[in-house]
């Protein structure tokens, strides 16, 4: 009899969290698991990459509550006033003040889910995978029947959307809390020390063989640039630090280095970054490639991989660059030192345009350093498929 497990997340947009889930369910499907993926919305290029045999479901009615969940409640209340739905507006205002006092929205979630039926299907394990997102955590705890329930933390809780008041109230109801790096675990225990026994590290699933095989599909770069190709992979968002990369590149060009910096990824700051690229007159040197479901040919064929992130939970793209043995420069975000040995398998620098610039210059001017990093990475075992055993134990 197969073990039934359901993962709940927002969507299957191209991102590290979603890629980690794809890697995990690919492994679980080989181990006699009946896997369901429940998404809030039908969106994302990775939807088509979900393995055959995995059941895909969408939260019916989410589009009717999406604005209620994502917009500030006083804005929602004002919108109801404009629609002359005064009673509804008054209810929202009441919840607005309650959430201000309680510093979390669980009562509001209970209100908007009052017309949602609890699914009849029962699971062995239910996972709030898009953590920390309060609504998904609340939904898994209250609207999914399962013997065991897991909360997953993918981000640096010191920087992204972590509500400690909600966590104090609800995280103790989960059977296990997985965090994707050792440093992330320490951060969470500092905030929730009474849950230390439930908190464990679960590294994102990385398959070196899969990455290496997909890196052989296509050539990646399709231009004929013969200088130093620098690559960054990640969503175009503030935390990923592409704005810092643009400044570092500008300095490289001004100082006569023959380089071109490519960015794989899409996001809500594309227009801002395009303006910054134009302002710094590096239009021909900083290339936004857009989203690529298979970024590995680009990683394989770049000369230097740079991760300029302001913060991360556990950076999958960094792990992928390690799998392909690239000379790496990374900023010192949460989990970076768990992946890179500074001066041995890469360079770890402050999240600063000048430090990134200096590190790139160091690699350009002394090619043997990059070769040294590449050779050391080739001796490391980066595959983390054995992490799946933690799910099997539960």
Cα separation, 331 vs 350, whole angstroms: 5
**Per-residue model confidence as pLDDT tens digits over 303-314:** 999 999 998 988
At a CB cut-off of 8 Å and minimum separation 6, what does 318 contact? 307, 312, 328, 330, 336, 339, 340
Q: Do domains 3-61+116-202 and 209-378 have the same CATH topology?
A: yes
Where are the chain's structural domains?
3-61+116-202, 67-109, 209-378
- Residue 238: Cβ within 10 Å count: 16
Task: Write the pLDDT tens digit of every residue in 70-119.
Answer: 888 889 889 889 989 999 899 999 999 999 999 999 999 999 998 887 77
Cβ-proximal residues to 340 (8 Å cutoff; 6+ apart), any chain = 318, 322, 328, 330, 346, 347, 348
Q: How confident is the model at residue 243 (pLDDT cuts 50, 70, 90)?
A: very high
Does domain 3-61+116-202 bear CATH number 3.30.70.1400? no
Report the alpha-carbon distance of residue 116 to residue 379 in Å, rounded: 52
From 40-49, 52-61, 154-163, 369-378, the region with the lowest mean pLDDT: 154-163
pLDDT of 132: 67
Which residue in 287, 301, 333, 324 sits closest to 158, CA to CA? 333
CATH superfamily assigned to domain 209-378: Glycogen Phosphorylase B; (3.40.50.2000)
pLDDT per residue over 6-58, tens digit each? 999 999 988 888 988 998 998 887 778 999 999 999 988 899 999 988 999 99
Q: Are 112 and 65 in contact (CB under 8 A)?
A: yes
Distance separating alpha carbons of residues 379 and 305, to the nearest angstrom: 19
Mean pLDDT (whole number) for 249-273: 97
């Amino acid at each position: 009899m197969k073990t039934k497990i359901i993962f709940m997340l927002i969507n299957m947009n191209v991102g590290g969290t979603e890629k980690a889930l794809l890697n995990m369910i690919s492994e679980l499907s080989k181990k006699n698991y009946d896997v369901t993926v429940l998404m809030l919305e039908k969106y994302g290029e990775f939807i088509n990459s979900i393995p055959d045999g995995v059941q895909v479901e969408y939260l019916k009615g989410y589009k009717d509550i999406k604005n209620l969940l994502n917009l500030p409640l006083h804005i929602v209340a004002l919108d109801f006033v404009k629609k002359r739905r005064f009673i509804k507006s008054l209810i929202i205002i009441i919840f607005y003040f309650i959430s201000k006092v309680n510093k979390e929205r669980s009562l509001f979630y209970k209100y908007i889910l009052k017309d949602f039926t609890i699914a009849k299907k029962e699971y062995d394990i239910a996972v709030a995978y898009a953590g920390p997102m309060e609504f998904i955590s609340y939904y898994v705890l209250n609207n999914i029947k399962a013997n065991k329930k897991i909360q997953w933390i993918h981000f640096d809780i010191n920087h992204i959307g972590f509500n400690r008041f909600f966590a104090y109230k609800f995280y103790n109801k989960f059977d296990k809390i997985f965090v994707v790096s050792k440093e992330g675990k320490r951060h969470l225990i500092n905030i929730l020390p009474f849950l230390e026994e439930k908190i464990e590290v679960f590294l994102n699933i990385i398959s070196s063989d899969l990455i290496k095989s997909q890196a052989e599909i296509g050539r990646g770069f399709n231009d004929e640039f013969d200088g130093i190709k620098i690559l960054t992979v990640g969503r175009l968002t503030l935390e990923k630090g592409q704005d810092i990369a643009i400044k570092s590149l500008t300095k490289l060009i001004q100082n006569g280095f023959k380089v071109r910096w490519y960015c794989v990824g899409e996001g809500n700051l594309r227009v801002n970054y395009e303006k910054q690229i134009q302002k710094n007159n590096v239009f021909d040197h900083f290339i936004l490639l857009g989203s690529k479901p298979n970024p590995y040919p680009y990683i394989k064929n770049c000369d230097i991989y740079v991760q300029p992130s302001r913060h991360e939970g556990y950076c999958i793209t960094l792990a992928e660059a390690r799998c392909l043995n690239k000379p790496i420069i990374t900023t010192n975000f949460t989990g970076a030192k768990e992946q890179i040995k500074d001066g041995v398998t890469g360079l770890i620098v402050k999240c600063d345009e000048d430090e990134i610039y200096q590190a790139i210059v160091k690699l350009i001017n002394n090619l043997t350093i990059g070769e040294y990093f590449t050779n050391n990475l080739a001796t490391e075992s980066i595959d983390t498929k054995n992490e799946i055993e933690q799910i099997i134990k539960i």
